[in-house]
Structure 1
């Protein structure tokens, strides 16, 4: 795990360049200093932005800008006081970035900039219990205009890296994320994953492969659509039932292949999925048919805290 931690740490020091570009985010500015326009409140002259990115958000109907702050530390240096300080600094930086003249050439009129992501990576041994304790006790400063802050530790960073690597390695360049219809919005497809999707227990996606066919001596290719549900939920028979109910609710079961991609958290999760997923779908009402079973494929995302032998593949 030490070598892997160092690799991820280097990516953070490079300001998440590969991590979020792999999810279709656009880099607008890196390692940029902006003037503080609220010196009396912020008690600073300037703010440093590690990374400013954006992506299309179909639910907002605009581009969502996000300021990313990266902290790569030993676990003992990640304390309650430091996390409170990092959170406040990020909020203050976003407030000034919203009207910063230094960013006038990269910001667009259709970009909403009120979101921040604080990446905190322990480069030695991550203590999840302690990290979660700090999160629960964070001092959140109030603001007249709301600013949304997401915080990620080693668990999220590892999960996102594994998902990105899985997509790049095993799926085609036609892979797209699905943004399901919510509150009257249209279902859409896109190359980018939103920040909310990355924090979600479930992500919907689609891939297209081409099958070669021959008719009267002429070869041609037929596109075959694969609908994908990526689950980061705790693996259980109840989650299997919920996954299938969502798949049907969004009417995704008519594709050529139905891929269910799981993220194992325990060493026996892979075998549990293989032994129980299909069996559970035959027990729901209405149950799946043999024709549906033939279309179902099970896949797994590598959890780097578990041996690759335990994770296996499809």
Structure 2
């Protein structure tokens, strides 16, 4: 039993280390079972919340609460039916969390409007899972899931967690080298949208679930309190197979009004193809031609394209078992 508990706690430790670097906040107790609000429908007496995080939404007045089901599996245990059952169970718990006074009193703040969503976090603790995780979810049908209207359920598999853990490690490494300032001078970037106001533009520094599951994550920082946040780091998940990939990225940066004089931009790719740096240079050259050169050429030529240092998170069951001794 102790060995099983130690394996389970691996995902708990990793999730807290990981999401805290993306400016998520933990709320309430760990590993809490709370009463089901519809036992006849869900066929259970209680629902679990392994851990609950919260962050501010950049484009609304809501605070998002993420109730997490943390799984720590070896390669052979990541099976289709097991993942399907976990997704259905989490959807049921979401439906009840929307109605549960007990859950909301323990995990949410009364003074702000809230959104509640679910996260299934599937960590491969032996590091050997190399299959297509998305195929483990092909049997899940939307009509089987009791996800409340306006809510969402996100599944992060081993590859997603590997990516985010490497971004987290790169942020820590850059901060240690002086390439990033202290956390208080950093935030994850959301552009001003034409038809939407950033209601909490300066109070929502966290990376949302949408950003963490996107093709890139943008962090920006300033050099000192009160100075402009003109330094951007873009953590790029794609491989860089085609010039068109980078042209699309540059188009987005231009749309976000990041491609302007005085802005420092570094693109960090985790696992780019061997030709990705050359493809990026070709994309820059083509974009300069489109823009007619001038100041834009200086901005584009100053962008740095760099490969991230790849790491693999490993835990020692013995070390985890000794933490409470």
* Higher helix fraction (1 or 2): 2
Measured at CA, do residues 166 and 134 of structure 1 come closer, stay the same or move farther in structure 2, by a change above 3 Å?
Answer: same
Q: Which residue of 2 aligns with 1:186?
A: 197
Q: Contact between 2:54 and 2:65, CA under 8 Å: does it hold in 1?
A: yes
Q: CA RMSD in A?
A: 2.7
Does 1:175 pair with 2:186? Answer: yes
Does 1:242 pair with 2:248? Answer: yes
Moved more, 58-67 or 248-257: 248-257
1:236-264 CA distances to partner (integer Å, 9 max, x unpaired)?
31111111111111211225343232324
Moved more, 94-103 or 62-71: 94-103
Q: Which residue of 1 aligns with 2:41?
A: 41
Measured at CA, do residues 178 and 40 of structure 1 come closer, stay the same or move farther in structure 2, by a change above 3 Å?
Answer: same
Cα deviation, residue 94, structure 1: 1.9
* Number of aligned positions between the proteins: 285
Q: Distance in 2 between matches of 1:97 and 1:143?
A: 12
Q: Distance in 1 between matches of 2:10 and 2:24?
A: 16
Q: Which residue of 2 aligns with 1:311?
A: none
Q: Which residue of 2 aligns with 1:83?
A: 83
Please list every run of 5 or more consecutive structure 1 residues that lacks an aligned counterpart in the other structure. 1-6, 211-220, 306-314
Aligned mate of 1:301, from 305, 308, 311: 308
Cα deviation, residue 25, structure 1: 0.9
Cα deviation, residue 126, structure 1: 0.6
Cα deviation, residue 273, structure 1: 3.5
Q: Distance in 2 between matches of 1:206 and 1:288?
A: 26
* Higher strand fraction (1 or 2): 1
Measured at CA, do residues 257 and 113 of structure 1 come closer, stay the same or move farther in structure 2, by a change above 3 Å?
Answer: closer
SS of the residue 2:51 aligns to:
strand
SS of the residue 2:17 aligns to:
helix
Q: Which residue of 2 aligns with 1:161?
A: 165
1:195-219 CA distances to partner (integer Å, 9 max, x unpaired)?
0000111333312236xxxxxxxxx
SS of the residue 2:207 aligns to:
coil
Q: Contact between 1:72 and 1:120, CA under 8 Å: does it hold in 2?
A: yes
Q: Distance in 1 between matches of 2:273 and 2:228?
A: 36
1:78-102 CA distances to partner (integer Å, 9 max, x unpaired)?
2121111101111122222232415
Q: Which residue of 2 aligns with 1:52?
A: 52
Q: Which residue of 2 aligns with 1:204?
A: 218
Q: Which residue of 2 aligns with 1:108?
A: 109
TM-score (norm 1): 0.80
Cα deviation, residue 287, structure 1: 5.0
Matches within 5 A, 1:136-155: 136-140=138-142, 141-143=144-146, 145-146=148-149, 147-155=151-159
Matches within 5 A, 1:205-284: 205-209=219-223, 225-235=230-240, 236-266=242-272, 268=274, 272-284=275-287
Measured at CA, do residues 255 and 239 of structure 1 come closer, stay the same or move farther in structure 2, by a change above 3 Å?
Answer: same
- RCO comparison, higher one (Cα < 8 Å, 6+): 2
Q: Distance in 2 between matches of 1:166 and 1:15?
A: 15
Q: Distance in 2 between matches of 1:95 and 1:222?
A: 44
SS of the residue 2:48 aligns to:
strand
Measured at CA, do residues 69 and 283 of structure 1 come closer, stay the same or move farther in structure 2, by a change above 3 Å?
Answer: same
Measured at CA, do residues 97 and 181 of structure 1 come closer, stay the same or move farther in structure 2, by a change above 3 Å?
Answer: same
Cα deviation, residue 138, structure 1: 1.8
